[in-house]
Copies of this chain bind each other. A is one copy, B any other.
Amino acid sequence: MTDATQITLASRPQGKPSTDNFKLQTATLPAVQDGQILVRVICLSLDPYMRGRMDDAKSYAKPVEIGEVMEGGAVAEVMESRNTDFKPGQIVVGAFGWTSHAISDGEGVRVVDPEQAPISTALGVLGMPGITAWVGLNDIGRAKDGETIVVSAATGAVGGVVGQLAKARNMRVIGVAGGPEKCAFAVEELGYDVCLDHHDHDAKSLSAAIKDAAPDGVDVYFESVGGKTLEAVLTRMNTHGRIALCGMIAWYSGQGVADAQPLPAVWRNILTRRLLVEGFIIFDHYHKFPDFVGQVAPMVADGTVKFREDVAEGLENAPQAFLDMLSGGNFGKQLVRVGADPA
């Protein structure tokens, strides 16, 4: 029997979540059954979608129930296996949750090659955020070489990859991020042509700044924030532009909803500019993982695609790190170090 340290959902947030919505507990896991594996978690991923799981609203995935372990992807080491697909000592990535140890039937669990890249990249640039960027740019954004793209959350786990993949396609790449440090990083490290600090702008001045940065207009908008960034970019979209709608973090906790621009203005823009707006959820595209890894892993290996991680130490600090991430306090892919690297 193994004891697991876990973080569960203690209560549903009203608006902005707080650490009171989470509970740290210890639970004894049952014995491993036929077909199952026991893993110890090394590294947990924190992602904006988790905010949605805390609510009881109808969404593309069912909510986490009160008292359940918070959902989340993690890199882990297989400790015990009664599943022929896995061997003890292997590094795997899967939806193990906010926990130190987990039992899994192996569904949705992938083996990670530690020789290819640092194992934590299986949660970032070579994991869900990376494939989200790749699908969003190519399949949803329908990007063409040489076009102009605006990337919101430009240095985030997803946005940072979108910008670099776009740059590799000779696109003009305009980022929007929060704070001078992130903007400098976007330009100096990630290769953005321009990065605009949304703290300096309201929707109107952001629109003017995008006009300066993208004199030929915007062909693709990688949209994960909503709010004033969306409002500003909409005024700069070219005819037949595309919006890949991947998230709306500015509105996840109900802030800013009352200040959002009116729907008819947005609808009018979509109509008169003949825009294509497509929402996507990366789970629908997981069958593309081999193509994605085949194309992007070499770009990570040769430094074309760089990555940055923001690591909180210890599972007990995951709630605060999650809250910080929701308000833009992280810088790079947000991870939580839960256990030691493999020997």
Point out residues on A near B: beta carbons under 8 Å: 58-60, 226, 230, 239-240, 245-248, 251, 257-258, 260-264, 266-268, 270-281, 284
Contact = CB atoms under 8 A, between A and B. Distances in A.
A48 to B, nearest CB: 12
B264 A226 contact: yes
A309 to B, nearest CB: 26
Number of copies: 2
Contact of A260 (B251, B262, B276): B262
A268 B247 CA distance: 8
10 contacts: A58-B272, A240-B284, A248-B267, A251-B264, A260-B262, A263-B263, A263-B266, A271-B279, A274-B280, A274-B281
A239 to B, nearest CB: 8
Contacts of A280: 274
B275 A278 contact: yes
Given A248-B264, A276-B276, 17 more contacts: A58-B272, A245-B271, A251-B268, A258-B262, A260-B264, A261-B263, A263-B263, A266-B266, A270-B278, A271-B279, A271-B281, A272-B281, A274-B278, A275-B278, A275-B279, A277-B277, A277-B278
A279 B278 CA distance: 12
Q: In the complex, which of the residues A58, A59, A263 has the most CB atoms of chain B within 10 Å of its own CB atom?
A: A263
Nearest to A250: B264
A63 B89 CA distance: 70
A263 B280 CA distance: 18
B251 A267 contact: yes
Contacts of A258: 262
A60 B279 contact: no
Given A248-B268, A268-B248, A274 B263 contact: no
A226 B266 CA distance: 11
- Top 9 A-B residue pairs of the complex, sorted by shortest distance between their CB atoms: A271-B279, A270-B279, A251-B264, A277-B277, A260-B263, A276-B278, A60-B272, A263-B263, A257-B264
A247 B226 contact: no
Contacts of A230: 267
